[in-house]
Structure 1
């Protein structure tokens, strides 16, 4: 299976969706970043740019499962190359488009959907992830414009249950070398360690670690539900 996370807009959580929603739930999955070299935080030898489309597809098609994370600065070129390589969009099983409830991002999300549709991607291959949802809001309230546009043109398959709540865990992950799945799987008895720790500084560190694990367990459960609803 080949899945691309994509959106013309930045700051919608594409990499979060790729790394924490998709990768842990796809067997033997390989992550392929497509972005400018100076934007990538990991191994630069693994990075491809949008114009390196043939190499990208060669790498993806030999894997059991591949998640292609297309950075916003490379989406336009990626789309152009996919259009030039006639029918290459058929090699992708799904295009996952994370979006957030701000005007520009919603407009860019619809532009992404339209572009994929123009290339020939069928509606059932385009999956929308409503990201960073306020717990007191609903998808229909936050994304009314996007839902209205799709009700009119019917370019993608929308399931309002594919929504990820905003959570204080996500910004904290930047300081971690562990994924949400790894944190959620932790079975360390932190309460016992806290009781045994002598220093206040040590206790505070352990309490914070316990908080991260508890947040991760809740988020992991939600992501399991979201992945199920995606029906990949």
Structure 2
């Protein structure tokens, strides 16, 4: 048993997960929060709302269901207004305009390199200075690339921290 755990149930496995939960008494109470990522594509957010309804139908308390806007360009309230309207009007689930993740290519970069934000940001290399002082053109380009990736990663990591704090508040 874990006291702190995040369990990611992929969209393709949600039905199996829900069926399994419905077979156990009190299973809905086993989790502190149910976080449902929501993107702006209509089919995706409609599926997210179906998931909210399914969770409610097996006894999950509404305040435990967190809709979490993901892959946002600027403002989740403008990009997925239906989610905010649903929560406000239906009083089902929870959504916070400060709990969202921006779309960023940094995620793909980190996944491809198999590194985390801390590894990239906290490596203490001054890639900007290295790029300026390097005489080898290939190395200069690589240092400049690393500088750009590092600078891109900083606000995204900050967004992750802020989103998590708002999500669990």
Same fold (TM over 0.5): yes
Partner SS state of residue 98, structure 1: strand
Q: CA deviation at 1:196?
A: 4.6
| From 109, 113, 138, the counterpart of 2:52 | 113
- 1:134 match: 73
- Answer yes or no: is the 8 Å Cα contact 1:97–1:128 preserved in 2: yes
Q: CA deviation at 1:73?
A: 1.6
- 1:104 match: 43
- 1:15 match: none
- 2:27 match: 88
Structure 1 unpaired stretches of 5+: 1-60
Q: CA deviation at 1:96?
A: 0.9
* Alignment partners' CA distance in 2, 1:72 and 1:140: 23
Q: CA deviation at 1:103?
A: 0.6
- Answer yes or no: is the 8 Å Cα contact 1:181–1:216 preserved in 2: no
More helix per residue: 1 or 2? 2
Task: Count how many residue pairs are aligned between Structure 1 and Structure 2.
Answer: 169
Using CA pairs under 8 Å that are at least 6 residues apart, name the structure with larger relative contact order, 1 or 2.
Answer: 1
Partner SS state of residue 129, structure 1: strand
More strand per residue: 1 or 2? 1
Distance 1:90 1:218, change over 3 A: same
- 2:9 match: 70
Matches within 5 A, 1:43-62: 61=1
Structure 2 unpaired stretches of 5+: none
- 1:186 match: 123
Matches within 5 A, 1:1-232: 61=1, 63-135=2-74, 138-231=75-168
* Alignment partners' CA distance in 2, 1:190 and 1:142: 35
Q: CA deviation at 1:64?
A: 4.0
Rg (Cα) greater in structure: 2
- Answer yes or no: is the 8 Å Cα contact 1:186–1:213 preserved in 2: no
* Alignment partners' CA distance in 1, 2:163 and 2:10: 22
Runs of 4 or more, structure 1, over 4 Å off, are none
Partner SS state of residue 73, structure 1: helix
TM-score (norm. length: structure 1)? 0.67
Q: CA deviation at 1:147?
A: 2.3
